[in-house]
Amino acid sequence: MTESWDACAAGWDDNKDVINYSSKAFVSLRKVVDLTGLRIFDFGCGTGLLTERMAEYAERITALDPSAKMIAVLESKKLSNVDTIVGEITEKIFDLRPGLVSGFDLVVASSVCAFLDDYQLTLALLKRLLKPNGLFVQWDWLKSDKCQTFGFTENQLLSAFKQAGMTMLSVSTPFSLVSEGGEMEVLMGVGMNA
């Protein structure tokens, strides 16, 4: 899977749909949280299109992606308050980087979770990154009649957040994108490490 993302890295920031998605995700994020002075973990950051926007406000961002080439594009942007990690979120990362545990005010995952092999386990691991009352925000495609095989339903998010021990603050469809297959809605879940 990482190889396919590596292959996309060079032209990722030129893709109009990707730019549009990250821009709309950022606007929806700003409506639910003030980013000023926050420590943020960007899970599955890709080339950092969302990271760039958040960096203007955040105190510090740690951006993780399994694709070394995606991370290289982000690093080339030379954002002074962004640290990068090439890797995946596993139990091992907490041993290698103990400073990650309970260190973040906000964890974001933009168009990432639907690609995970074990979403529930990953959600539990991401919760460990959050300070008490820290927020987790996720954007993925809304599974619907138009999109049956990919994404999540509102009930799937509610159940997963509850099982991970997070309080669900909101579930919404803040934006949609039009593609050749029609209009696809994006589902946004906001949870708190209660």
Q: Whole-angstrom distance between the N-terminal and C-terminal Cα of the chain? A: 33
Which amino acid makes up residue 20?
Answer: N
Around Cβ 28, how many Cβ atoms within 10 Å? 18
Q: Which structural domains are found in the chain, ordered by start?
A: 2-192 (3.40.50.150)
Q: Give the tens place of pLDDT for each residue, 78-92.
A: 999 999 999 999 999
Residues 6+ apart with CB under 8 A from 24: 174, 175, 177, 186
- Strands (E) across 31-92 are located at 39-43, 60-65, 82-86
Is residue 2's pLDDT more than 80? Answer: no
pLDDT at position 111, please? 93
Residue of 36 and 95 predicted with greater confidence = 36
Is residue 56's pLDDT more than 80? Answer: yes
Quick check: pTM over 0.85? yes
Q: Give the tens place of pLDDT for each residue, 109-119.
A: 999 999 999 99
pLDDT at position 147, please? 58
Centroid of chain to Cα 20:
15
Is residue 48's pLDDT more than 70? Answer: yes
Return the ∠ at Cα 128 (arms to 190 and 116), rounded to 5°. 65
Task: Give DSSP secondary structure letters for 78-137.
Answer: --TTEEEEES---HHHHHH-GGGTT-EEEEEEES-GGG-S-HHHHHHHHHHHEEEEEEEE
